[in-house]
Amino acid sequence: MNVPFPSGAEDGDYLEAMRSRVRPAVEAFKPEVLMISAGFDAHLDDPLAHVNLSEAAFYEMTRELVAVAEKHCGGRVISVLEGGYHLRALGRSVVRHLIALGE
């Protein structure tokens, strides 16, 4: 599923799409395992994507996916770090992602 966003999209834009489009589509698919390609280049401090997401948004999106995994695949989640180019923002985002995975 591809959900395009305009330059400058923010937390609310992504969270709304996650809750109204992505999560329902994944729920309908009923996966046996959920694989997350965890990229953080959409962080507001990252110089490339021109998207303005915070660590909180990455946390919330991960929680949404974990909830789907708990419901449909016994909590089985594989998360693969994809990247991000601002190392401090990447580090903070990965920490929030890991916290969300572990709750």
Residue 52 phi, psi dihedral angles, 5° rounding: -120, 60
Other beta carbons within 10 angstroms of residue 48's beta carbon come to 12
Tokens of 7: 């330059």
Task: Give 21-59 pLDDT, tens digit per residue.
Answer: 999 999 999 999 999 999 999 999 998 889 999 999 999
In which band, very low, low, confident or very high, does the pLDDT at 74 lie, cut at 50, 70 and 90? very high
What pTM does this model have?
0.94
User: Given the structure tokens 């990965």, which residue do they identify?
Assistant: 94
d(CA 91, CA 89): 5
